[in-house]
Amino acid sequence: MSVQAPRDHDRRSIPESRTTRTSRTTVSTPTSEALANVLSVSVVAVLGLLIWHISVRIFELPKILLPTPWEVAQAGWQNKEELCMASGVTFITAAISLLVAILIGGILSIIFSQSRLLRRAFFPYVVFLQTVPIVAIAPLLIIWSGYEFRTAVIATVIICLFPIVNNITTGLESSRPEHIDLFRLYGASRWQRLLRLQVPTSIRYLMLGARVSSGLAVIGAIVAEFFVSNGSDYVGLGALITRWQGLLQTDALIAALGMSTLLGLALFGLVNGIGRIFFTRYTRVD
């Protein structure tokens, strides 16, 4: 029985099919994916604004109930100085609170990772801080600390603390058993194992907790400003929202809500950028 040699067109079809498959797999690049994400988000935003505008016109809603997007933009431009100054105050409050929460949460997480007894005794109270509404805690904080900037920071730290502690503690305890055995084999002390193994392993979890808390920091700062601004000259976005709500300036109120959303995105982007610039070697997934 004779074996026939492959024909010329069969030979040509094999490399062509491989090239086709390779080109198909290399079409998607990080740049194209980023552009696709931006395009999809922009399309959804434009559709939302159109639906908003059409709904106001069809149902003839009064401006005090729901203004059009253009009226909101006009109100934001007319109050741009107040919005920018208040946004700066709120951003500083949220950023400082997030930093303090990371410092306190890191210390607590190290303690919890080194002592199971202390973790069992005190970790439920960290969960308790997360479950109690900040609206209920804020009046007590004002009584104890006054209508001051530090009161807003304390309230915001309470909101941001749990994701930080939970993620860092998980990261400190996520070291691979073979790595722990290697450190024990070389006679490393507990502190050497903590600093050279557990802490580097937990940085990835720290960044995850910081990203979650970055959004919570802006929310906590604005909620705290609802109370703190009542008895002081502390003017953040929460103070503007409270004032414009009392004056029934719905267009300016919605503009302030939009600025708070941008603040959350800015703080999230800042945390994400710091992670990519300084902690890439620790956050890279193998």
Question: In this predicted model, what pLDDT tens digit does every residue of 162-198 receive, in sequence order?
Answer: 999 999 999 998 888 888 788 888 888 888 888 888 8
- Residue whose entry in the numeric block shows the structure tokens 């951003």: 91
pLDDT, one tens digit per residue, over 5-45 is 445 444 444 444 444 444 444 445 768 877 888 888 889 98
For residue 110, how far is the Cα from the chain centroid? 23
Quick check: 6 and 13 in contact, CB under 8 A? no
Rounded to an integer, what distance in angstroms lies between the CA atom of residue 268 and that of residue 170?
Answer: 21
Rounded to an integer, what distance in angstroms lies between the CA atom of residue 77 and that of residue 271?
Answer: 28
Quick check: 236 and 93 in contact, CB under 8 A? yes
pLDDT, one tens digit per residue, over 213-254 is 999 999 999 999 988 877 667 788 999 999 999 899 999 999
Average pLDDT of span 242-268: 92
Quick check: 251 and 75 in contact, CB under 8 A? yes
Question: Three-class SS string for 16-52?
Answer: HHHHHHHHHHCCCCHHHHHHHHHHHHHHHHHHHHHHH
pLDDT tops 60 at residue 284:
yes
pLDDT tops 90 at residue 155:
yes
